[in-house]
Amino acid sequence: MHGTQLSLRRILCPMGRVFLHNRSLAPPRHSTMKIPCRISAVSLCLAVFATSSLHAADAAALWRKDCATCHGADGRGDTKEGSKRYISDLTDAALQAKFTDDEAAKSIKSGLKDAKGRVIMKAISGVSDADVKSLVAYVRALKK
């Protein structure tokens, strides 16, 4: 390299490593500290997604097993049993605004009775609080 000199400078990265770097090039933009953080953030997101989709699958299975006979697969209540019991359309946002999540959870766990004490909705037995919570979320997702 006759007449030209390659100018190098020392760059100290956050991990304490020293790099020799050509001034004409941009300094390194990445830090070795960010890689584990990115990996753990991605892992955390995947774990949350897998867990939530697992609960969603459980809620859908519970819905099909215990609720769809009366409420229908889509929550509209347009089934034979739903017609007999005058089941309301759970996809209606106005109807869903009339009850809280706690009220929905209580009706799932304890069932519903009319003014005369007749059972209008049977309680679902053998479900955990987490299952009830996921079912309530499933019902909320039915609204238009």
Beta-ladder partners of 18: 12
pLDDT at position 105, please?
Answer: 95
If we measure between CA atoms, which residue out of 35, 32, 33, 55 comes closest to residue 43?
Answer: 35
pLDDT at position 86, please?
Answer: 87
pLDDT at position 22, please?
Answer: 52
pLDDT at position 16, please?
Answer: 53
The domain ranges of the chain are 54-142
Indicate whether this model's pTM tops 0.75: no
Domain 54-142 has CATH 1.10.760.10: yes
Reported as a single tens digit per residue, the pLDDT across 28-48 is: 555 555 555 555 555 555 555
pLDDT at position 125, please?
Answer: 87
Q: What is the mean pLDDT of the chain?
A: 76
pLDDT at position 141, please?
Answer: 95
* Distance of alpha carbon 56 from alpha carbon 53, whole angstroms: 5
